[in-house]
Amino acid sequence: PRVELAWAMKAHQHAEVYFNLISSVDPKFLNLTKVDDQIYSEFRKTFRDLKIDLLDPEDLKSEPAKEKWRPFCLRFEGVVEDFNYGTLLRLDCRQGYTEENTIFGG
């Protein structure tokens, strides 16, 4: 439980920073890592039909989804710092971080 709480706290801090960034800079001009293009390309190869503007928790948390997410994340071990940390995701990209609109992916 302590490890999960520490991850959740770090994810919350990251979410605040990233939300401030994407709220103040046009995201198409924003690079968060040197390998953003590679990550997105691999993401779209693996999750071709995943709708990202309105996320379904089943696409993230179900057992079949986890079987796809684990190998995807492991591709970036040694490439992206903290590649396996959890993150807070907004289910609906048009809304902010609220209890109803946020899911923890870890």
- For 6-40, how does the pLDDT look when each residue is reduced to its tens digit (9 = 90+)? 877 888 888 888 888 888 988 788 888 899 999 99
Q: 1-105 domain in CATH 3.40.30.10?
A: no
Domains of the chain by residue range: 1-105
Instruction: Kindly report the pTM of this predicted structure.
Output: 0.75
Instruction: Assess contact for 92 and 56: CB atoms under 8 A.
Output: no
Q: Cα dist. 57→16, 29, 103 in Å?
A: 21, 28, 8
CA distance 102 to 87: 10
